[in-house]
Amino acid sequence: MGKDYYKILGVDKGANEADVKKAFRKLAHQYHPDKTTGDVDKFKEINEAYQVLGNQEKRQQYDQFGTTFDGAQGFGGGNPFAQGFGGAQNVDFDLGDIFSSFFNGGGPTGNTRSQRGSDIEVDLEISLKEAVFGISQTVSIRKQNSCEPCHGTGADKGTAYDECKTCGGSGKVTTTVMGTFRTQTVCPDCRGKGKTIKDKCGACSGQGVITENADIKAEIPAGIDEGQAIRLAGQGNAGKNGSAAGDLYINIHVKPEAGFERQGFDLVTEYDVPFTMTALGGDIKVKTIDGQVKLKIPAGTPSGKKFILKDKGVTHLKSRGRGDQIVIINVDVPTKLSKKQKKLLEELNEELIKDKKSWF
């Protein structure tokens, strides 16, 4: 009896192309010879099944001949997996070309020629005023920079290279898998570069990067808030083999300032005002982020009254204009009175309740 390719891939006969491919991907991950769960025979079997079920023409012929497919004249007999490669044995075959389409280029032939530098994160504390108006700040960090003497190559003067003896300068090595075809993988010695360093750079010991202190000027935008971050592209650690540098992320922390509470782009302040002033009216001095201003309190102002100081709040981030400052007036009722104060209040109280005798 021939092999049941549907059973091997774990799909039914009505499975569409996407289902077949999905099943193959899952099994290929599981049984690939390079994995700890690998099984050469099983891997060969599922590949054989996919070469048939993944090809519309071959699948139609397989369905026609059923499980006696191995002897079907439509394929000239023999192993259809080998037939898929022209019936040849020990064919040079880059297995990574198949898996790159399934695993986003993560197969055995993944390119290690370049490696982007890592990102760096730092914390920066600023004042509320600096957050409102923005500030230029110098951030001191320790980072990896590209080595200047070797131009980041790691080789002395940037030119002291030899051809890699392992791969002959191709960057890949060929190994036989399952005795049927050969697969190419990245050369473990030169890591895909095709060349090895003959004389290492004395400045960086062949690493291509040097760790140094760096002072980086950053423009902190007006309106930034606690917990937000700014990104400085290319100011992180240098990349290897001439690849791009990482980025620098500056996490902003705004120091609290007594008397101010930020709500979006508005600033909220509260003032306790003597009850006599709220009754009679008067002026108070209010602190704003721009300096002191005078605020008129009308007679009869109730506790909790809000006054709006236009454009005295936080600058709109990446936009024009500013928020407002909201001033909340709280009536300050004294708890301790002198004899004179108490006498005056008693007289005032008698006058005020004359018109409210019906309440008492």
Is residue 244 domain-shared with residue 123, that is, in the same domain?
Answer: yes
The pLDDT value given to residue 188: 79
Q: Helix 40-53 to helix 56-65 angle, to the nearest 10 degrees?
A: 100
Confidence at residue 65, expressed as pLDDT on a 0 to 100 scale:
67
Q: Which pLDDT score is estimated for 180?
A: 56
Between residues 191 and 154, the one the model is more confident about: 154
282 domain-assigned: yes
Q: In whole angstroms, what is the distance from residue 318 CA to residue 296 CA? A: 33
Query: Which has the higher per-residue pLDDT, 10 or 101?
Result: 10
Q: Would you state the pLDDT for residue 125?
A: 96
* In a shared domain, residues 315 and 286: yes
- Residues 187, 233 within the same domain: no
Measured in degrees and rounded to the nearest 5, phi and psi for residue 195 equal -150, 155
213 and 321 within one domain: no
Are residues 38 and 83 both part of a single domain? yes
Confidence class of residue 150 from pLDDT cuts 50, 70 and 90?
A: confident
**Domain of residue 315, residue span:** 261-352
| Residues 44-81: tens digit of each pLDDT | 888 888 888 888 888 888 887 655 544 444 444 444 44
CA distance 105 to 96: 8
pLDDT band of residue 251 (cuts 50, 70, 90) is: very high
Mean pLDDT of 300-319: 95
Section 160-176 average pLDDT = 81
Q: Which amino acid is at 141?
A: I
Instruction: Find all residues with CB under 8 Å of 206, minimum gap 6, and list them.
Output: 154, 155, 197, 200
Same domain, 52 and 84: yes
CATH of the domain at 9: 1.10.287.110
Q: Give dist(CA 152, CA 284) in Å, integer.
A: 64
Confidence at residue 107, expressed as pLDDT on a 0 to 100 scale: 39
Q: Parallel, antiparallel, or unpaired: how do β-strands 209-220 and 135-146 relate?
A: antiparallel
In a domain, 213, yes or no: yes
Q: How many domains does the chain have?
A: 4
- Residue 360 in any domain: the answer is no
Q: Chain centroid to CA 110: how far?
A: 22
Is 273 a residue whose pLDDT tops 90?
yes
Examine the domain organization and report whether 188 and 294 are in the same domain.
no
* Model pLDDT, residue 102: 44
| Structure-model confidence comparison of residues 39 and 256, the more confident one | 256
On whether the CB atoms of residues 314 and 304 are closer than 8 A, the answer is no
Tokens of 221: 């935008």
Flag whether pLDDT at 316 surpasses 80: yes
pLDDT value at residue 54? 86
